[in-house]
Structure 1
Amino acid sequence: MAGVVYTRKERCPELYLLAWDSEITVTNSDMSRCNSYRDILHCNKKPFYLKGREEDSSITDAYIIHSLNHVLKIRDLVTKNDTKLAKHPESADNEILNGDSFLDHGFTRPKVLILLPLRRIALRVVQRLIQLTPSAYKVNVDHIDRFLKEFGTQEVEDDEDELSQQTQGNSKAKKSSKPSDFLELFGGKRDEEDHFMFGIKFTRKSIKLYSDFYSSDVIVASPVRLIAVLIIDHADVIAMQNWSHVNTVVEQLNHIPSKQHGTDVMRIRPWYLDGYAKFYRQSIILGYYSNPDINALFNRHCSNYQGKVKLVCEYKGVLPKVILQVLQIYERFDVDSIADADDARFDYFVKKVFPKIKDSVQGGTMLFISSYFEFVRIRNFLKSQEASFCLLGEYTQPSDISRARLWFFEGRRKIMLYTERAHFYYRYKIRGIQNLIIYSLPERKEFYPEIVNMLDGSHNMSCTVLFSRFDQFRLERIVGTAPSKRMVTSEKGVFVFG
């Protein structure tokens, strides 16, 4: 059924009237891209959680309306065909065999899979889906109380000021020190945020939440066999969790199932039986930014016969958000292939950067590392050098984190390793930094000024950033698109900002 859409004059006009409602901000371009049934990669979607930036709700409303249109259109078609066949049961088999009009089934009922990273985001999307559903289909919304109880927002406990209490003896309650985007994004319990999966079923007059998966029309899950529309929203946040789970899910889509789930095989569309379902699946991937993993998924696993659309943009950079007068020295290391980039970065650090740290008596050096694998590699190297260091990674135990932050602040450890994912999930403010080394640029551009501004209070502050030409995706988000192009192609290898 891919490629066929309603107009405002056809069977389901209420959905398209919604697109022109004054309270809905769907643009013609967003709606037309979704309705084209092409694969879409749009990684400049303005997220709701960033302060000072108006949310780009148009594309969200567009994919929800598009999903509703797809689900309700097929539901109406199946219902109409069921009625026709019920009136003439004796000729049903002949009519199915002799024409395409009754080929309205897939192997299973689910048609739309929406992958979302967090419960708070799932709450927003499902509430919006219910709002946009035509009133005739939502006389009742089953299990809405259970949904709001399980996905409703709760306050995040603030563990940031433990170090302040230890060093300053201040135990008074105070306003959370977490950034506003962190509080907006993680509105619930962190340890339960990214584990959920439930079905949504549309009947003649109701929406059923928590429906059985094989009888559902829409499945909402965090990183399903036959899916006609795949939507991955907030892909950048999912990338901070575990992108390999997304690859696993997408690789399992659109295969011929090993078990039969009550489907009338006489009404299955021929391209599903021929194993071509993946070419008829529309994939819509949305996020705040793109990265090599997201691009690879789009290039390798999105094979829609209608084609694909990739939206790109230019970045202004975030350097003006660094409020300190600190020189930020960008050092480029040369590497011939992306396969050798990690080794080249490590070799550059070992030969050019670490000797300066080792010979320094100052201490207060923080290494910001984007990848956990790089984190482990640097940790093992520092152990081999018997260096004085402490760790703050995404898997570090809370008691070890508190001890590490205190030791670093008091100068009992000269070096701290800090990962991007740890910053994403906890947003610690590290005190005692004198020398900041950004071993690998952060994926999320808003983290760069946050990390550099942690040098506040330092007397001899310095900031060194390592990069290669294969870091241009990250680099352009931080320094701007035009400067990043010059930095990766220039003959000189050192650039200074500040």
Structure 2
Amino acid sequence: MAFYGPRGGSRGRGFSSTGFRGRGGARDSRVRGRSGFRGGPGKPIFDCARIAQQKEVEENNAQSGEESSLEEEQDLELDDESIIDEDEESLPAVRSYAALMQSLFSESGPQSKKRKLDHPSDVITERRNSANDQEVNDLAAEDADDVEEAEEGPETATDGLLEEVAEDSEDASDPFEAHFADPDNNILGQKLKSIQQDQWSTQKVLFQKVGKAFFSFPRQDIIQDVSPNEIPDSSQLRLKQKLATAVSKCRPCFDMLERHLAPLLFNYQDVLHCERKTSNSESLRRLTCLHAVNHIFKTRDRVIKNNSRLAKEDNDDLSLQDQGFTRPKVLMILPTRDSCVRMVSMITTLCEPEQQENRKRFDDSYVEKEEKFSVDKPDDFRELFGGNDDDMFRLGLKFTRKTIKYFSQFYNSDIILASPLGLRMALDGKDEQKGDSDFLSSIEIVVVDQVDALLMQNWEHMEYIFEHLNLQPKEAHGCDFSRVRPWYLDNNAKYFRQTIALTAFNTPEINTMFYNQSKNWAGKVKINAFYPGTIQELGLKVKQTFSRLDVASFAEDPDARFTYFTTAIVPALTRRSKDSAGTLVFIPSYLDFVRVRNYFSTSTSTTSLSFGSISEYSSVPDVARARSHFLSGRHSVLLYTERAHHFRRYQLRGVRKVIMYGLPDNPIFYKEMVGGYLGKSIQEGKLEPGEGSVRAVFSKWDVLKLERIAGTERVGKMVREKGDTFDFV
């Protein structure tokens, strides 16, 4: 089975957000002839080469610097994967040109391509602006994520030496060594046994100005010390020198959040951080990218050093197990292409590559510079949907000595960045191509950013992806099994994988996936804040009534909620139909929305109520009509879903009363609908101060939502105390 690139298609078959498109043939300009010289069979190779040498020497003495620049540009376009030796670089240009001419005429095929390490910046710029323009435009017009290239084994990806390979010694105190490279087998065996028996010990720790952290470790005789460990700056992290220099420039000191999170991330513990905001998103992105790239560089350097040892030592008994089954080590799951752009920009800032192959193609496909939304949209909405909001993408990043290559084939990539939908399509395959998940077999770090936004897409894709992580591969893919780490061979890779999930709030779905899929033998931690409650942040006085449902099980919740709504809330609206004008009914679930909408349409008890509806599937004309009728009073009730508000953030006018069929996951939505909609009606004079009201229905299964809205101190009493009605002003 072969896998041809980030789009998951076979040769000439790729996916796009608008449909399926095919393209034939490789478009890489590096494999095309550039010199214009064409030789046929039967011509004397060496005579022709000597003539060319003689001509070149004469021309070099007479030509200007402009022609020399062209010669450098031709050398630049050779393959970026091999590195020329110093002795070969010091050779005269005549011999270099002769070798090239011989390779062009040789019947045995071209020899290995080579490239220079130092290139003038103007040559690089000229190459990007001229030679690749047509290629990039053609690719953008077709399938921007589809690529074809030869598949490499995991060890062949490390051709060439890093400058800093020799600087690092194998230190047992380095978290990379202790967790991946050389773990203590005695401790590891005990912890794996505890994990397999689902035995965990949990401790609660308070982080100053951050929140409460819940640590979970595989149960052992010795309780681990989880006291807060703060790191003031990056100097105390075990970073590669190149990364340490870059991060010290852009972030000389850590803030309070970074001081607490850095030791958790770099000790390879699983982290569920439930307080991601637009204000701290940059800090979180920097930390996760720094950790991911540092892990890749350390893994690669270990392989390079061992390659050197194997080349020097002729010892059949030498065992160097330093790899996985395939090359990709880091998976980043992101909601939109714009979020991918921000993540990639952070990676390039930290790595400071000298060259970025296919960068223009990446910018054309992912970057959208025009501002789409006005300033009245909230910050979290602008961050998520600003720029290119396409949620169908997958991208491979490959690191070489001084280059980052975009759109690399998955099996040749170090980092895979993808949306849940894009990755799911690659896993499933299409048409004649069968599904393939082998490229996820050796993932060691998973970063899921803006998990709350992914929850509003299709959560089934996330569950499907995690089910296919760290499975045993079906094919070898060029793997040298003598170099594979033993815990990969023992099918224990899932116990070493680190999961980093960043979300604005926690939900039962996120919580369940984290605790079910997180089997890290280093432990896991969930971080929550103390919530004062959104009800105190509204900016206006309004009566808020919370009604509790007593439901025995989660499966019974939908039916109990519908029964309460139709027997307690709807009759109150119909008794005073004149007072029902301007009633907004907020419904989190689309299934509940359909049920309520059908009830309003068919029930005889609602004949006196005119209503409209807006869901995530409503067309633009239908939304405009519903908003207009609701504002004019033609419709007294408007049914509104949470996903519609998430994707559109409509500014509804004419709201006089808010009924929440269920609490929103995002506490910002409660503030926008109560404080925003009712506040706007007061400003427009359609509602007197203090006249508006809110009625919210909740059960004990909504405890996470209720905590964010009512506050951490109140949630316990509202769930456990006698009585089922709680009023706030």
Contact 1:316/1:480, CA 8 A, preserved across alignment: yes
| Mapped partners of 1:187, 1:347: distance in 2 | 40
Q: CA deviation at 1:7?
A: 9.2
2:522 maps to which residue? Answer: 306
1:432 maps to which residue? Answer: 654
Pair 1:14-2:245 in alignment: no
Q: Deviations over 1:426-452 (max 9, x none)?
A: 110112222210111111111111101
| Mapped partners of 1:330, 1:124: distance in 2 | 40
Q: CA deviation at 1:17?
A: 4.8
Q: CA deviation at 1:242?
A: 1.9
Pick from 347, 365, 377: which aligns with 1:150? 365
Pair 1:185-2:384 in alignment: yes
- The one-letter amino acid of 1:85's match is L
Contact 1:25/1:57, CA 8 A, preserved across alignment: no
2:292 maps to which residue? Answer: 67
Pair 1:110-2:328 in alignment: yes
Q: Deviations over 1:396-442 (max 9, x none)?
A: 11121111111222222232111111111111011222221011111
Q: CA deviation at 1:185?
A: 2.9
Q: CA deviation at 1:475?
A: 1.1
Q: Deviations over 1:287-336 (max 9, x none)?
A: 11111111101110110112111222211122233233321111111112
2:724 maps to which residue? Answer: 493
- The one-letter amino acid of 2:466's match is V
Number of equivalenced pairs: 464
Q: Deviations over 1:6-36 (max 9, x none)?
A: 9979882333455544635543432211121
Distance 1:28 1:330, change over 3 A: closer
**Structure-to-structure mapping, 1:62-461, within 5 angstroms:** 62-87=287-312, 91=315, 94-95=316-317, 99=319, 102-133=320-351, 135=352, 138-155=353-370, 157=372, 177-190=376-389, 192=390, 194-223=391-420, 224-226=439-441, 227-362=443-578, 363-385=581-603, 387=606, 388-452=610-674, 453-455=676-678, 456-457=680-681, 458-459=686-687, 460-461=691-692
| Mapped partners of 2:477, 2:582: distance in 1 | 61
Contact 2:332/2:446, CA 8 A, preserved across alignment: yes
Q: CA deviation at 1:147?
A: 2.0
Q: CA deviation at 1:217?
A: 0.4
1:162 maps to which residue? Answer: none
Distance 1:426 1:7, change over 3 A: closer
Moved more, 405-414 or 16-25: 16-25
Q: CA deviation at 1:356?
A: 1.4
| Mapped partners of 2:262, 2:378: distance in 1 | 34
| Mapped partners of 2:716, 2:509: distance in 1 | 21
| Mapped partners of 2:601, 2:311: distance in 1 | 75
| Mapped partners of 2:282, 2:415: distance in 1 | 20
Contact 1:393/1:418, CA 8 A, preserved across alignment: yes
Moved more, 438-447 or 359-368: 359-368
Percent identity, please.
Answer: 38
Q: Deviations over 1:136-158 (max 9, x none)?
A: xx121112222223222344656
In terms of Rg, which structure is larger?
2
Q: Deviations over 1:28-54 (max 9, x none)?
A: 432211121121111112x22xxxxx3
Pair 1:484-2:706 in alignment: no
Contact 2:612/2:635, CA 8 A, preserved across alignment: yes
- The one-letter amino acid of 2:384's match is L
Distance 1:391 1:30, change over 3 A: same
Moved more, 144-153 or 69-78: 144-153
| Mapped partners of 1:331, 1:11: distance in 2 | 53
Q: Deviations over 1:192-226 (max 9, x none)?
A: 2x111101111111111111111100011111422
| Mapped partners of 1:200, 1:313: distance in 2 | 35
1:163 maps to which residue? Answer: none
| Mapped partners of 2:457, 2:516: distance in 1 | 21
Distance 1:183 1:327, change over 3 A: same
Q: CA deviation at 1:259?
A: 2.4
| Mapped partners of 1:123, 1:142: distance in 2 | 15
> What SS is found at the alignment partner of 1:446?
helix
- The one-letter amino acid of 1:274's match is D
TM-score with structure 1 length normalisation? 0.87
Q: Deviations over 1:67-92 (max 9, x none)?
A: 1111011111112222333445x64x
Pair 1:42-2:270 in alignment: no
1:161 maps to which residue? Answer: none
Distance 1:85 1:7, change over 3 A: farther
Contact 1:156/1:183, CA 8 A, preserved across alignment: no
How well do the aligned residues superpose, as a CA RMSD in angstroms?
2.4
Contact 1:333/1:493, CA 8 A, preserved across alignment: yes
1:471 maps to which residue? Answer: 702
- The one-letter amino acid of 1:348's match is Y
> What SS is found at the alignment partner of 2:547?
strand
- The one-letter amino acid of 1:339's match is A
2:220 maps to which residue? Answer: none
Q: Deviations over 1:368-393 (max 9, x none)?
A: 11122221221222223164322211
Q: CA deviation at 1:132?
A: 1.0
| Mapped partners of 2:394, 2:250: distance in 1 | 33
Contact 1:30/1:58, CA 8 A, preserved across alignment: no
> What SS is found at the alignment partner of 1:283?
strand
Gaps of 5+ in 1: 49-53, 159-174
Q: CA deviation at 1:352?
A: 0.8
Higher relative contact order (CA 8 A, sep 6+): 1
Distance 1:344 1:154, change over 3 A: farther
Contact 1:331/1:495, CA 8 A, preserved across alignment: yes
> What SS is found at the alignment partner of 2:263?
helix
Distance 1:11 1:220, change over 3 A: closer
| Mapped partners of 1:22, 1:410: distance in 2 | 54
| Mapped partners of 2:384, 2:252: distance in 1 | 23
Gaps of 5+ in 2: 1-175, 182-233, 421-438
Moved more, 278-287 or 356-365: 356-365
